[in-house]
Amino acid sequence: MLDSGFKEKIHHLYNNLYTILSENYEDNEIISVDFHIEKSLGFGRHTRICDALINDIRSNKFGDLVNDKYSLKYTISKDGGELLNEFEFREFVTSITFYMVMFNAVALIGDKNAGYSLFASQRRIYYNNYIVGLYAKDNINAHLNRKGINIYSLWKDNWNSDEHDQEVWRYQDCWPIYLLDDARELINYFEARYKIDIQPLV
């Protein structure tokens, strides 16, 4: 599972998230991230990590991290454009990366009130129409705000190149690691590489 190539894919995703979030959020802005496991009818309550996972996996295997929760939140702190607490920010970005990779999850960054700044999976960032999906009564009302549209325009071709010789994450790289018996070894890898503890969902 964790050969050197896969580890570099993880770091590529981490770098993308670090760059986008650090460059597009200002002092005292709250960054909210909801994690969903994709279903065929679009994203809603039924696709949140805590609702999409079967109880045995959610409670018994990842009860310390997921249980009945599905999001992360962080208030960015900057002075003159510079991060004031680099460690906490890296911890936040590392945790986002972990949940995306472990659960093959889509991260919805933002909220329905302020709008969303990023819809991202390991392989793609998405525009509004992908997230809405097919009709379902509990689909989320998710639309990119101006910041999100700008990020999408700048990053849609660079998040994970479609050029075969440049593509980082391929379809076969993105799968539900959480189903493996030794899935929690991925936690050990993240915490050792980035020198942090994975944050539990809130």
Q: Which helix (H) or strand (E) holds 198?
A: none
Q: Indicate the domain borders of the chain.
A: 4-194
pLDDT in tens, 95-122: 999 999 999 999 999 988 888 999 999 9
Enter the tokens of residue 119.
């819809």
Task: Judge whether residue 173 has pLDDT over 90.
Answer: yes
Q: What confidence score (pLDDT) does residue 4 get?
A: 86
**pLDDT, tens digit, 9 for 90 and up, residues 46-85:** 899 999 999 999 999 999 999 999 999 999 999 999 999 9
CB 92 within 8 A of CB 199: yes
* Cβ pair 105, 35 in contact under 8 A: yes
Could you identify the residue written with the tokens 């760059």? 19
Select the more confidently predicted residue: 142 or 196. 196
pTM of the model: 0.95
Mean pLDDT of the 157-183 span: 86
> What is the number of residues in the chain?
202
The tokens of 64 are what?
């310390």
The helix (run of H) or strand (run of E) holding residue 100 is helix 86-102
pLDDT band for position 164 (50/70/90)? low
> Which helix H or strand E contains 154, and what residues bound it?
helix 146-155
